[in-house]
Each structure stands twice: as C-alpha cells, then as structure tokens.
Amino acid sequence: MEPVLAKLLAASLITPFLTFWILVLWGPKIGKPRAGWVGLIGGMGVPLALSAVVFVTWFFTSPEQRAELTAAAQHSQVLWAQLGRFDVTFGVKLDSLTVAMHFMVCFIAFWIFFFSIGYMSGHADCVHHQSKYWRFFAYLALFAFSMLGLVISPSLLFLFIFWELVGLCSYLLIGFYFETDYAPPAAMKAFITNRVGDFGFIIGLGIVFTFLGTLDLEGAAAAFKTQLATSTGLFAPQVTVPIFGWTFSGMTLATLMGVGLFCGAMGKSAQFPLHVWLPDAMAGPTPVSALIHAATMVAAGVYLVARVFRLLTPDAQMFIAVIGCITLTFMALIAIVQTDIKKCLAYSTLSQLGYMIFGMGVGAWTAALFHLITHAFFKAMLFLGSGQVIEGCHHVQDMRRMGGLRTKMPVTCWTFFVGVLAIAGFGIPGVHLGHWKFGLGGFFSKDEILAVAYDRAYNWGRFGAPSEGHAEAGANGEARPANKEKHADGGTRSAESAAGGRGVRLAAFSSGSSEEVQHSAAGTPAQKAAGSEKDAHGAEGGEHHASEKDGVASGIQALPKWMFWFAILTAYVTPFYMFRAWWLTFMGHPRDHHVHEHAHESKMMTTPLVVLAVGTLVSSYFLFRPMLSHAAEAAADAPLVVAVDGEAHEPAAALLSLDHTPERDPHKKLVGLVGFAFLIGFAVSWAIYRNGLDVASRIKAIPPFNLLHTLLERKYYFDELYDFLWVRGCRAVAAVCAFIDTWVIDLVYNLLSGVTERIAAFSGRVLDAQGVDGFVNGISETANDLAEVLRKPQTGGIRKYVLWSVGLATAAIAALIVVMRVNGG
C-alpha cells in the first residue's frame, strides 16, 4: 500500500510527457479536433484519474497512517546523480499539501483542457497555411507535466527545474499568437521578469545548499531548525558572507536566504515590483490565462513559499507580508479602472495572489493555501467565463462594448456571478447550517487570513507579557512535563526567562542588518547568557513547545497596523470591481448592438463553467479545508506560524494559536469590519454602473478623481518607470557598448586586419608567387628543356641507333688510340 500512492503521483507525470512528444512529432497528422482530444486524455485525463484515486484514498486515511506514508515516500527516494559527496535524489513528496495541490491542478486543468478544445476550434490559427492548433495542446501537455512535477518535487532542486519548465510553458503560451505584434513582447516581458525573480531564487538556493548542506526540503528544514537552536552553521556568529559588496551573517543571512527564495515566488506569482508581466500575459489564449496565469502556475509562487516556509525567519516573513500587502492593495485599485475584461481579471488575480503572499507573510500558512485553492477554482471559472464571452463576441474584450449579454449567454452569466460572489467573500457571518458555516470558499479563506493579520496587528502584545493568552499557552506547556524537565538544565527553569533569552537572541539578530550592532552585541554578557540559553535549547534537539513558541513570538515585532487596514480596504474594493465587471458585461442594456447580436455560447465551453461553479460552491471547503488543516503539520515547526481554527489537534499543538478571548476574538472583530463588505461593494458598484458608463465618466471628470483615474489607468506608471530604467537603461548601455565596439574594438581590429592583409599580400605575391613558385617552376622547366634536347636523338629508327653507336664507339676508340699515341709514344 505505502509505495502505491507515491508511485501513482509519479506516474501522473508520464502521460503528459508522452502526450507532449506525440503532439510535437505527429501533431499536424493527428489533425485539428483530434489533437485536442489527445491532449485532453493523455495530458490531463489520465493524471486526473490517478490523482482522484490518490485524493480519495488520502481523504479516508487516518493521520497516523498519513504520517507513515509521508515518511515512507521520503525514504524511498531514488538516487538520480552523485556529485562528489552530494547526492541528488528524486522522489515524491507525499503529504496533504501535495495531494491537495495535485488534485486541484489536475481537476482544474482537466476542465480547462476541455474548454480549450471548444475555444481553440473557433480560432483561425493558421500561420503560413499551417495550423498550430496541435501546438497549443502540446504546450499544454508540457505544462501539465511540469506543473505536476513541481507539485510532487521533494527537493528544491527539482522544484527549481520544474519551476523553470512552467516558466518556459508560460512563455510559449503567452507568445502563442506570435504572428501578432503584441504577443511576442508580452511573452518576452514575462520571461525576463521571471528571470529577475529566479536570480534571487538561485541566490537563495545557493545559501541553502552551502549552509544547510542539502536541497531536500525535509533535510533543509531539519538542518535549519538544528542550526537555529544551536547557533551553528548558518547562524554561527562568525559566519559572514559577502554578497554584492554587503556582508551578511547569522540571522541576516538566513533572512536573505528566505528573501532570495521568495524572490522566485515574487517573479512567478507576480508580486509587487515584478508584477508587470501578468497583465501583459493576457496576450495568450484565454484558457491559458485561466490555467497558467490564474489558477496554477502563478500560484506556484505561493506553493514555493509554503514549501520553504520552515526556512523563513521572522524578518523574511515580514518582508513577504509587506510585498504581499502592497500587491494586494494597489493591484486591486488598478482593477477598478480596467475596461478590458481579461485585464480586469488579471489585476484581480494579482490582488488575490497578494492576499496569499500576505497570508504567508503573517504566518497564516493554512489560510493562504486554502485561499490558493478556492481562488484557483473561482478564478479559473471567471477566466473561462471571460473566454466564453470573448469567443462569443468575436474577440471583443472591451467591456464598454458589451452589456446585456445575460440573455445571450445565461449559463456564462450566472456561473460568472458565482465567481464574483466567491471572490467578493460572499457569506453570512455567524450563520450555521448545522455543522457547516454558510458562505463561499473565498469568504472563509479571506476571513482566516484577515483574522491572523488582525491577531498579529492588535493582539500580539499578549506574547512575552503575562496575559490570558499567555496563561493558556503556559497550560499547553504544563501538558508536556517531559519537555519541562529537559528544559530545566542550566537553571533556566521558568518559561518566562526562556522566552526572555530567546527574545534577546532574536532581537539581536533581527537588528543585525547593520553589522556593527551584530558585532558589538556579540561580546556583551547579555549575549553570552543568551548563548548558554541557546545551548540549553540545543540539548532538546530543537523540539518545540508552547513556551518556546511564546519566546519566538515575543521577539517578533507585531504586524504594522496599516498592513491590516490595507487588507481591509481591499476587501471593500474587490467586490466593487468584480461586480462592476460582471454588471458591465452581462447586465444593463447592450451598448454595442453589433456585438450583442452575434453573441452566443457553446456547450463545449459552458460545461467546464458549470463544473467549476459547483466546485467553487461546495468542494473547496468540504474537501480541501480539512486536508490543508492536516497539511499544517508540515509547517508546524516553522519559526513563525499561526494556527487558524481547526488545527489545534495534537501534532499542530505547538502552533501559535489565535486569541479567542471574547473581547479580542479576531473573527468577531472581522464580522463588524468586513462581514458585509461584499454588500457595500456591490451596492456602490451597482449605484454607479446601473445605467451604463455615464455616472462613471462624470465621476471621472471631477478634479481629484481625474488625476487618480489617470494614475490608476497608467498602472502607477510602472511600465513607464521600467521602460525608463531598464529598457532605456539597457539600450543606453548597449549604445555605449556599440560605440566602444565601433570606435575602439573595431578600430584595433581593422588596424590589425589591415596589417595582416598587407603582410599576406606581400607574402603571397612576392614570396610565394615569385620565390617559392619560381624555384619550383624553374626546376620543372629546366627538366623539361633538358628532356626536349634529349628526346631529339630518340628517333625510334634502329638502324640509326646502330650507326650512331658504332660511329661513336669508333670515334671513341680512335680518340683513345690518338691519346695513347701522344702520351705513350
């Protein structure tokens, strides 16, 4: 039983890979509709079947058995390569997170593949009289392979490999309409922006490899924990590493590692400074936007953060939270002014990804992943809905030309509305249907993230200082006397002082971004005391218990309040712009009769919409939430993680949990703050867009709003800024290089080549032609002339020869006789 699940997950990679090659090699022969079906069955059908088996089995497996299975999968990795003493192993990461993500990816991708067959068949896709229909499905199959590989990777190395593969697929699919003038730059932009993030990722990987000694996720996390507890390796005070002229050490280096790894996620999940590629990526076909740029690949960044969560220091998490907060707020504001239906959804995706990253940053691990999954469902559905609209309206994407489409495409209209409700956080707070609370997936997932954010912003003071929350945590500590006893070494018996010691240490390291602080602190007695404290912790083997968690918490600054309020603001903005998009597209009166008359919807495309709508309504909370609660065990020993409700069972007991004292319960506070945000957002939106665009355009003309509108419409001038800084900068550098090339390097080369040419001419014309050739020719000519002379007597007449020889012999003898006479006398 135990290897089977892992093997099934691994087997799910095989058919997409084969399908890719089949389509690449024989795609044109397979033909237009059939290539799509091949892609659907091979690329996603088989993996979905395998994944469903795994998911259902896992769902009904007890937590103890799950832990065994996880360990078994971890230990049955295959040696892939050996580099010196470093073993590269490949295997399958089998835990609740993988299973949930795998099933989510397979399920959504299957229906998007299905949708694609309908969507792509309606497209004229010939370039130079060759259909590239098959190519689309080949890319999708490759993407399926890479994404599933990414999800099951147990090591950062393979995570990185598949990470780059999904990036490649994204590039290929954004640039699918390469014959247009807008798709290739968009594809390049996506690719290059991702390279920037991946550069940070590589640095992070380098630090992980150097200091943690392994790229395996489990091994790295274990090494990190031990080193943090014992102040060795990465955290040894004497370790310093210069990177780009800055020197990093200890906690700062660990923070840099976390930030580096997060940079990868920043690129892939399009977070704030690197967000510019995602809206442009809408140049790709709409199913691609749904699959890659809304549901799965962009969420891979969040998945990566979830996977490396145990390697993040509190400072790194604060960085992540800030980035997430900026992204979620400012991108949501841009979405208000977008008129292109896909662009609007793209900014919404950016904002929601910001939510997830923000959740990760504040420590709401489970909540962020839960939001990832609910978001994947409803955003895929929203994108497919927009694809149906675009297809039905013959490639009109401008919402200003739509309106009134509900009569022409009712299924799309109402499934889209389900998506709008889900993303707006529709739910009725406090209402329970028996055991189940009433609301859509987005309601719960956002509520959980905001609850943790509230707790970190307003209730954080309870840690480190005696309070009710602390007493509760202390009770947890009492429940584990064994730990207490171990902890008793070195006279640090009380939990308070332990917390204090750890707090000093974390504070020292957190402020260690400037080296002076770090080094001056190193010699003080306080630090020495903290050092002995650390040894005491090391003796425990880094095992967590509540008091230690409290100590960590007291050393971490609370969340700045503005971040919480930004998130709250977004909770009001999101329903506004989503309702606006829905209303402008489907409701009201048709604004362009030409578009309206030709609008239609097709069965092939509405089926996935309905399936995903049902998924949005029921599956996410019932199926995925319990599994993710269980998955939280994987993150339980992270430096900073906050448990949301429902995760307080035994292995996760060490998590910091929310403060549930009545006057400070975050959920109760949130009911008042954002419980009815969706209603307010909908209402304002309805009031403005009820009768089309007139009210909006009048608002636009009022002085403060017109400037704001321009600012938002130009996306805070980020494209211009990047164009100025990077594109122009690059070109300026290139121009300088070209100048140097032309006037320095070419000059030298031309000079050298001129001299060489002269030398060659001399050597060729004079030395070779006259000297060497003259000598050789001279010999042959001499031989020739001699032969001419010598051939004269060779007449061929035998009688002449006889005469000659006799005559000459006679003459010779006569001469001999004469000579003898003269000499001899």
Partner 1 sequence: MLTIGLTHYLIVSAVLFCAGVFTMATKRNAIGILIGVELVLNSANVNLVAFDRYRAGLMDGQIAALFVIVLAAAEAALAVAICMNFYKNLVTVDVDQGDVLRG
Instruction: Tell me, rounded to whole angstroms, the distance of Cα 242 from its chain centroid.
Output: 27
CA distance 460 to 659: 9
Give whichever of 433 and 790 is closer to partner 1, judged by the CB atom.
Answer: 790
Altogether, the residues listed in the chain come to a count of: 825
Based on the shown chain and the rule CB under 8 A, indicate whether residue 812 belongs to the binding site for partner 1: no
Minimum CB separation of residue 800 from partner 1 in Å reads 8
CA distance 284 to 116: 12
Minimum CB separation of residue 779 from partner 1 in Å reads 21
Lookup: tokens for 752? 């050298």
Minimum CB separation of residue 813 from partner 1 in Å reads 12
What are the backbone dihedrals phi and psi of residue 745, each rounded to the nearest 5 degrees, phi first? -70, -45
Which of residues 663, 792, 821, 824 is near partner 1 by CB under 8 A?
792
Q: Which residue has the tokens 């058995």?
A: 65
| DSSP codes of every residue in 370-432 | HHHHHHHHHHHHHHHHHHHHHHHTTS--BGGG---TTTT-HHHHHHHHHHHHHHHT-EEEEEE
Give whichever of 178 and 804 is closer to partner 1, judged by the CB atom.
Answer: 804
* Positions in 474-493 near partner 1 (CB under 8 A): none
Give whichever of 128 and 791 is closer to partner 1, judged by the CB atom.
Answer: 791
Lookup: tokens for 459? 């209730």
Lookup: tokens for 260? 């580096």
Instruction: Tell me, rounded to whole angstroms, the distance of Cα 762 from its chain centroid.
Output: 62
**Long-range contacts formed by 515-520: CB under 8 A, 24+ apart:** 515/240, 515/247, 515/249, 518/237, 518/249, 518/250, 518/252
Which of residues 699, 734, 806, 819 is near partner 1 by CB under 8 A?
806
Give whichever of 192 and 803 is closer to partner 1, judged by the CB atom.
Answer: 803
Based on the shown chain and the rule CB under 8 A, indicate whether residue 798 belongs to the binding site for partner 1: yes
Based on the shown chain and the rule CB under 8 A, indicate whether residue 817 belongs to the binding site for partner 1: no
Lookup: tokens for 116? 């694609």
Based on the shown chain and the rule CB under 8 A, indicate whether residue 752 belongs to the binding site for partner 1: no
CA distance 37 to 288: 17
Give whichever of 75 and 799 is closer to partner 1, judged by the CB atom.
Answer: 799
Which of the ranges 116-124, 346-354, 436-444, 794-802 carries the binding residues for partner 1, by CB under 8 A? 794-802
* Positions in 709-738 near partner 1 (CB under 8 A): none
Q: Residue 182 has what DSSP assignment?
A: S
Q: Residue 30 corresponds to which amino acid?
A: I
Minimum CB separation of residue 824 from partner 1 in Å reads 19
Which of the ranges 75-83, 428-436, 542-550, 786-794 carries the binding residues for partner 1, by CB under 8 A? 786-794
Minimum CB separation of residue 787 from partner 1 in Å reads 9
Q: Which residue has the tokens 């395998």?
A: 50
CA distance 161 to 672: 46
Give whichever of 771 and 797 is closer to partner 1, judged by the CB atom.
Answer: 797
Based on the shown chain and the rule CB under 8 A, indicate whether residue 795 belongs to the binding site for partner 1: yes
Based on the shown chain and the rule CB under 8 A, indicate whether residue 803 belongs to the binding site for partner 1: yes
Minimum CB separation of residue 780 from partner 1 in Å reads 19
Based on the shown chain and the rule CB under 8 A, indicate whether residue 784 belongs to the binding site for partner 1: no
Give whichever of 475 and 812 is closer to partner 1, judged by the CB atom.
Answer: 812
Q: Residue 155 has what DSSP assignment?
A: B
Give whichever of 603 and 799 is closer to partner 1, judged by the CB atom.
Answer: 799
Which of the ranges 5-13, 78-86, 482-490, 787-795 carries the binding residues for partner 1, by CB under 8 A? 787-795
**Whether 428 contacts 438, CB under 8 Å:** yes
Based on the shown chain and the rule CB under 8 A, indicate whether residue 794 belongs to the binding site for partner 1: yes
Minimum CB separation of residue 792 from partner 1 in Å reads 7
Q: Residue 169 corresponds to which amino acid?
A: C
Which of the ranges 429-437, 485-493, 625-633, 784-792 carries the binding residues for partner 1, by CB under 8 A? 784-792
**Alpha carbon separation from 253 to 9, 203, 480, 518, 794 (Å, rounded):** 35, 11, 33, 12, 100
All residues at 6 or more sequence positions from 161 whose CB lies less than 8 Å from its CB, including other chains: 149, 153
CA angle in degrees (0–180, nearest 5) for 358-359-362: 85
Minimum CB separation of residue 809 from partner 1 in Å reads 10
Give whichever of 736 and 808 is closer to partner 1, judged by the CB atom.
Answer: 808
Give whichever of 85 and 799 is closer to partner 1, judged by the CB atom.
Answer: 799
Based on the shown chain and the rule CB under 8 A, indicate whether residue 407 belongs to the binding site for partner 1: no
Based on the shown chain and the rule CB under 8 A, indicate whether residue 797 belongs to the binding site for partner 1: yes
Which of the ranges 19-27, 93-101, 463-471, 798-806 carries the binding residues for partner 1, by CB under 8 A? 798-806
Q: Residue 77 has what DSSP assignment?
A: P
Which of the ranges 23-31, 425-433, 562-570, 797-805 carries the binding residues for partner 1, by CB under 8 A? 797-805
Which of the ranges 535-543, 627-635, 638-646, 789-797 carries the binding residues for partner 1, by CB under 8 A? 789-797
Which of the ranges 21-29, 91-99, 333-341, 801-809 carries the binding residues for partner 1, by CB under 8 A? 801-809
Minimum CB separation of residue 807 from partner 1 in Å reads 10
CA distance 363 to 372: 15
Which of residues 802, 812, 815, 817 is near partner 1 by CB under 8 A?
802
Give whichever of 185 and 807 is closer to partner 1, judged by the CB atom.
Answer: 807
CA distance 616 to 621: 9
Give whichever of 435 and 799 is closer to partner 1, judged by the CB atom.
Answer: 799
Minimum CB separation of residue 790 from partner 1 in Å reads 7
Based on the shown chain and the rule CB under 8 A, indicate whether residue 791 belongs to the binding site for partner 1: yes
CA distance 177 to 281: 12
- Beta-strand relationship, 656-657 and 642-643: parallel
Based on the shown chain and the rule CB under 8 A, indicate whether residue 796 belongs to the binding site for partner 1: yes
Minimum CB separation of residue 786 from partner 1 in Å reads 12
CA distance 365 to 356: 9
Q: Helices (H), strands (E): how many in the chain?
A: 38, 10
Number of residues that bind partner 1 (CB under 8 A): 13
CA distance 571 to 215: 38
Closest by CA position to 270, among listed 191, 203, 338, 341:
191
Residues lying near partner 1 in the complex (CB under 8 A) = 790-799, 802-803, 806
